[in-house]
Structures are given as structure tokens and as C-alpha cells.
Structure 1
Amino acid sequence: MATMNGSAGLRRLVRPVVLLALSLAAGWIIIGLVGAVDWQAVGDALGQLHLWQLVLLVAVVVLRQALNAWPLAIFIDGLGLPRAVVNDQASILMCTLAPPPADLAIRMTMFAGWGIDVSRGLAGVVMNTVSFYVVRWSAPVIGFVLVLTDRFDSSFATGALAGGLAALALVVAIWVIASGASAARWVGRSAGRVVRVVRRSVDPDVWAQSVATFRGHIADKLRRGFPRSLLALLAMMVCDATALLLAVRFVGVSSDALPSIEIVAAYFLTYPLTMLPVFGIGALDAAAVAIMVAYAGISYEAPLVAAMIVWRAVTIGTPLTLGAFAVLLWRRMGPAPDPVAPTAPASG
């Protein structure tokens, strides 16, 4: 048993490392196809940055992180936005530094420490994740629509179609689960049967009960909470795209060379690559640079690479720093208020 557990732990550790290596290799290949990078010119572009610009970028990312955590506050009664942000940042830190399920473990530990029922907290985390995936797969559709204002690109259309169908499938699944307990059990049992084809240990009946229990925790929040969570995460991506836009402008690429809509479109078109380890570092960066260089010209490759380096530094460094503070801070936060506790009558 110990040997099996050790092998499973080793696989959990090796898999993200392999995926990260593949992502970086893909980025190197894509950049190589675009053209040889003039790293001296990249350094010159980075030298144009001012301290106030970095401070502004960090501020935008902090806002992004708050919006990213907002669905947790929506789906978990009593959690509140401050605790949601602390929980989310600590999870991001653990997700980056350790293999799964370290990120989920620290979330559950925090919920228990704050007096939040762990099963209710887990249901909120699941809905947060589902909402995020709906928005993630919708991103290429947004990018394609933005590009349509100037041109039609069949490859962008293919990505938008695939992403849109994936997002729609998730929305339909949530709608079916919300329609009733029997429907939720049907979804769970059906999913369990599909997964059992590749993993014989899966029990479809257990999955059915798990999905029904999950529905019981979030059913009263789906009608209003799900759309609000999608809006919060869409605003999160807008902040992220704004950070990239600012980084491009700060390294000296003007709107005449590369319009803002092209920068934002490149971000949305490549956003699904964040599903790779460390938020898709390597593959996403190279793909976004390739899209922007295709519009602006090869002469702008070096400053655009510099912009991606700046964007990566603030969008990865800021959450990890916040996560370190979150791990230190969460025990100092008192228990979450009981969402069903009666309120004291008003005096007088």
C-alpha cells in the first residue's frame, strides 16, 4: 500500500513537470517560427519601464485577484470577499509550488478553521471552478469577435467554435443539475459511467450521490449566483488583458503599430492555454506574441517579447506574493459569521 501511495504521489509530481516542459518547448518552437529574437533589443525595451508603471501593473493584478476570488464569496454563505481572496491566493500558491491536491487541501483547512462546513465549502470551490472554465473556454469567442472588426481568420474561428461548444456544454450541465435532484443524479451517474471506461474503480452510484449532494449545497444560488460569478470572472479577464495592454504600451509599442483591440484579442484567443502548468507559461506567451507580430510586423517582436516578460512577472509574481501573505494571515482571521444565525432585534 505504501509503495502504491508513493507511486501515485510520484505521478502527481512528475505530470505537471512534464507538462510544463512541453509548454516551454512549445513556446520556444513558436517563437523560433516567428523569427530570431534580438535579446539585446528586448533588454532595451525593458529598460524603458518606470517604477510607477510597475506599481500600476501590480495594482491592476491585485484587482484581478479580487475578482478571481469573488465567485467563492458568491457561492459560500458567510465566507465574504476578504476570506475568499485569502483562500484563493493561498490555493494559487500551493497549486504552483506543489502537486494536487495540495491546493484543495489548504482550501479545506481554511474553511474548517473559519467554521465553514467543509462540504459546503467544497461545493463552492467546484462552482468557482466550473464558472472559471466556462469563462476560460468562452475567451476565444470574445477574441474572434474582436478580430472580426478588422478581418476574418479561419484558425481563430475554429478555436472560437471549439471553445464556445465546450463552454456551452458546461452551462447545459449546470442547468440540468439545477433542474432537480433526480436530474443531478442522472448527470453524476452518466459521468461516472463514462469515467469508469478508463478507471474501473469509479462507482457511478457514488458519483450520482455526490452530484446530488453538491446540488443541495448550491441549488439556491445557481439562478442568481452563476451569472454573477461569470460576470466577475469576465471582469477578471478584462483586468488581465488590461495589464497586457499596459505592458505593451510601456515598452514603447504605439497604438499606430498595434491597436489596443489586437492586443486584447490576442490575449483572449490564447487564454485557454492557461490550463497548462504555471498558467501556460511558454506556450501562451509565444502564441500571443505570434498573433501580435503577425499584425505589427517582425520588427516589433523584441518589444512584444519584453512586454510578455513584464506581464508574466507581475501576473505570476503578484499572486504568489499575495499567496505567501495569505498563508500567514488566515489564522488571524476570526470565524466566518453563521449565515443562518438569527439577527438580534433592533432596539427601541
Structure 2
Amino acid sequence: MLRRRILRATIIVIVSVVIGWAALELGQRIDWESVGQAVSRLAWWQVGVLIVLLVVRQIINATPVSRFVRGLSRPRAVLNDLAANLVGHLTPPPGDVVIRIAMFRSWRVDPVDGMAGVTLTSFVFYGARLLSPVLGLMLLAFVGIDRRQWIVATVSGVLALALLTGLVLVVRSQGWAMLLGRWAARVARAVRRDVNEEAWVRAVVSFRERVEGTLKEHLLPALAALGAGIVLEGLILFASLRFVGVSPGDLSAAEILGGFFMVYPLTMLPMFGLGVLDAVLISGWITATGEQLESTLLAGVIVWRAVTFGGALLLGALAVGWWRLALRRNPSPPAETDPPSSDADGQTS
């Protein structure tokens, strides 16, 4: 156990040093004065457009949770998502779970059903992320596709299909659910020897029982909603680049959105791929436009990150404040169902 902890800490330190060194090297090459000038081109109404797009994206992203959780309206699903996003970034795990459960209980929504719906939404979102390169490939067909892009889209599409098919099989069959629980426990045991295999199986079977009735009816609408949310995020990036001075002659809409959707699975990384996704995007665009646009492209990406990341955190703070204020004005007794309990191995059951 001690060796694993030392190895894990060593890997984290090495990765952090490499990323930090790369960031410093990149930062020295950037003309930050030009970046600032590009950002300063934003007009007040353009900021308003970006905020409206962000709000619409958040509403659409909350649609699956409102569908998968019985008794949860869409406005409350939006508040729940925003609050969890905020707390998840400011506190260590499971802070986001705690705030979600607290909100569910205050609204008299079964917290176990609520977290089952949230988990189901997460699985579907992974599927939508993995499908995004397929959409990117379709857009890039207008400007030309290279072999690497074909490979990325094909592999990503196959993984998405496997994930969604596996999800459907697990939910429809208890046997598949038990098999998945045992397989996942054995994989986890490679990292932690104290994993309780039977507890994992019970957790997966319990999850299946709770979502079985909703998945068949809501899977495709939920997948479509999350896909629309990804498209809206791409539109925020597209608008950000146009607002800071990237013209259609520099990069077409197909190049911007196609490139973004192609690398969108990188948002699975911590902090939504902050730094990694940005560098891959900019380097790809520079290949097409030349280094003369590097500062402007970086400015557009910074604006996009500020809106989608910083703006979402601000909306999360407003959501938590709104919920607390409403709770003080109209306190309601908590739901009788207790939240999910944790076994000795730390897994929810």
C-alpha cells in the first residue's frame, strides 16, 4: 500500500513538472500584449451574447437529469447541476455529491433515485463526448480530412457505441449488471486490495433496478440534449474567436467547429482538459493558418474558457445562493429516504 502511494505521488509530481515546464516554454513564446489587445476588442453586447449562449447550454445540459429523476423539474435540475459543478471544483470529493443530495432532500426528491439519475446522465454524457469526433469529421469533410482524423473519429465512435450498448445491456439484464459489477471490482482491486466484490455487484444491481424504467424512454432524448449542449459550447468558442478578430478568411466555421468537436473527448481530463485541450486546438489551427494568428487564437480560447468555465462557476454560486434563500423562506422537511451509504471499500451502494 505504501509503495503504491509513493508511486502515485511520484507520477503526479513528474506529470505536474512536465506540464509546468511546457506551459512556461509556451508562455515565453506568446505575445501577451497582442493577446490582451485582442481580448479588449470584445464589446458589451458580445459579452451578453456569450452569456446567453452559456445559460442556454446549462439549461439543455440539465435536461437529462430532469428526465431521469422522478419529481425533479428542469429549473431545479439546472440549479442542482450548477451547484454541483461549483462545489466539485472548490472542494474535494465527494463535495458535489453532498450538495446534490442536500438539494434533493430539500425538494423531497428521493436522493437515491436522484443520484442514480445523475450517474446515468454521466454515462450518457461520456457517450456524447465520444460521439463528438464523428460530428467533427462530418464538418471537416468540407475542408479536407486527413488519416489521423479518420482514425480518431472511428476509434471514438466505436468506443461510444460500446459504452452505450453496454449501458443498455446492463440496465435490461440483471445478469449483465452482476457481470459488470464483478468485472469492475476486479479492475479496482488492482489498485486497492480491500475492494469488496459483492458490494460492487450489489451497487450495480441496485443502480439497474432504479434506472431500468427510465433509460428506455429517455436515453435518446438525453443523448440528443447532451449533444446539443456540446454544439452550443462549440458555438461559444466560435463566437469568441470571431469577436476577438478571427475572420472567416482566417478560419472557416467548419475548421473551428470541426476541430473543436474532434478533440472534445479531452474534456474528460481534470478541469475539462484545461490546458491540454486548448494547446491541441491552437496547434491544429496554427497548422492551417500560420503562427501570425497565434495570439488572436489564444485570446479567443481564453474568452471561451472564461465564459464556459468561469461563467459556469459564477452561475453555480448564484444557484447555491438562490437555493439557500428559498430554503430559508420555505423550509421543508427532508425526504424520508436516506442517501446512499458507503461500504468499507468506499463504494456507494
TM-score for the superposition, normalised by structure 1: 0.85
Aligned-partner Cα distance in 2 for 1:27–1:260: 28
Whether the aligned pair in 2 keeps the contact of 1:147 and 1:262 (CA below 8 Å) is yes
Question: 1:277-296 residue pairs with structure 2 within 5 A?
Answer: 277-296=270-289
- CA offset at residue 263 of structure 1? 0.5
- CA offset at residue 239 of structure 1? 0.7
Name the counterpart of 2:44: 51
- CA offset at residue 118 of structure 1? 1.6
- CA offset at residue 24 of structure 1? 6.0
Question: 1:140-289 residue pairs with structure 2 within 5 A?
Answer: 140-289=133-282
Identity between Structure 1 and Structure 2 (%): 38
Post-superposition Cα deviations, 1:203-249, rounded to whole Å, max 9, x if no partner, equal 22222221111111111111121111111111101110001111111
Name the counterpart of 1:317: 310
Aligned-partner Cα distance in 1 for 2:12–2:52: 29
Aligned-partner Cα distance in 2 for 1:20–1:315: 24
Aligned-partner Cα distance in 1 for 2:249–2:282: 17
**Inter-CA distance 82–169: structure 2 relative to 1 (3 Å threshold):** same
- CA offset at residue 17 of structure 1? 9.7
Aligned-partner Cα distance in 2 for 1:202–1:297: 52
Post-superposition Cα deviations, 1:43-67, rounded to whole Å, max 9, x if no partner, equal 2212211010011101101111111
Whether the aligned pair in 2 keeps the contact of 1:181 and 1:212 (CA below 8 Å) is yes
Aligned-partner Cα distance in 1 for 2:238–2:23: 20
Name the counterpart of 1:341: none
1:330 maps to 2:338: no
**Inter-CA distance 77–58: structure 2 relative to 1 (3 Å threshold):** same
- CA offset at residue 78 of structure 1? 0.7
Aligned-partner Cα distance in 2 for 1:116–1:190: 32
TM-score for the superposition, normalised by structure 2: 0.85
Name the counterpart of 2:104: 111
Q: Which moved more, 1:232-241 or 1:114-123?
A: 114-123
Name the counterpart of 1:344: none
Whether the aligned pair in 2 keeps the contact of 1:45 and 1:251 (CA below 8 Å) is yes
**Inter-CA distance 238–19: structure 2 relative to 1 (3 Å threshold):** farther
Aligned-partner Cα distance in 2 for 1:68–1:163: 21
Name the counterpart of 1:342: none
**Inter-CA distance 23–91: structure 2 relative to 1 (3 Å threshold):** farther
Whether the aligned pair in 1 keeps the contact of 2:85 and 2:96 (CA below 8 Å) is yes
Aligned-partner Cα distance in 2 for 1:277–1:234: 20
Q: 2:80 aligns with which of 76, 87, 94?
A: 87
Aligned-partner Cα distance in 2 for 1:228–1:265: 23
Mark the runs of 5 or more structure 2 residues left unpaired by the alignment: 336-349
**Inter-CA distance 195–280: structure 2 relative to 1 (3 Å threshold):** same
**Inter-CA distance 313–16: structure 2 relative to 1 (3 Å threshold):** farther
- CA offset at residue 129 of structure 1? 0.7
1:125 maps to 2:125: no
Tell me which amino acid in the other structure corresponds to 1:228: P
- CA offset at residue 21 of structure 1? 7.2
Q: Which moved more, 1:124-133 or 1:158-167?
A: 158-167
Post-superposition Cα deviations, 1:137-192, rounded to whole Å, max 9, x if no partner, equal 22222222322332222222332233223212211211111222232222222222
Aligned-partner Cα distance in 1 for 2:136–2:29: 27
Whether the aligned pair in 2 keeps the contact of 1:27 and 1:285 (CA below 8 Å) is no
- CA offset at residue 26 of structure 1? 5.2
Whether the aligned pair in 2 keeps the contact of 1:27 and 1:284 (CA below 8 Å) is no
Aligned-partner Cα distance in 1 for 2:61–2:24: 29
**Inter-CA distance 26–188: structure 2 relative to 1 (3 Å threshold):** farther
Tell me which amino acid in the other structure corresponds to 1:123: A
Corresponding pairs, count = 329
Aligned-partner Cα distance in 1 for 2:23–2:167: 34
Aligned-partner Cα distance in 2 for 1:14–1:277: 18
Q: Which moved more, 1:159-168 or 1:216-225?
A: 159-168
Name the counterpart of 2:91: 98
- CA offset at residue 86 of structure 1? 0.6
**Inter-CA distance 190–113: structure 2 relative to 1 (3 Å threshold):** same
Tell me which amino acid in the other structure corresponds to 2:164: V
Tell me which amino acid in the other structure corresponds to 1:198: V
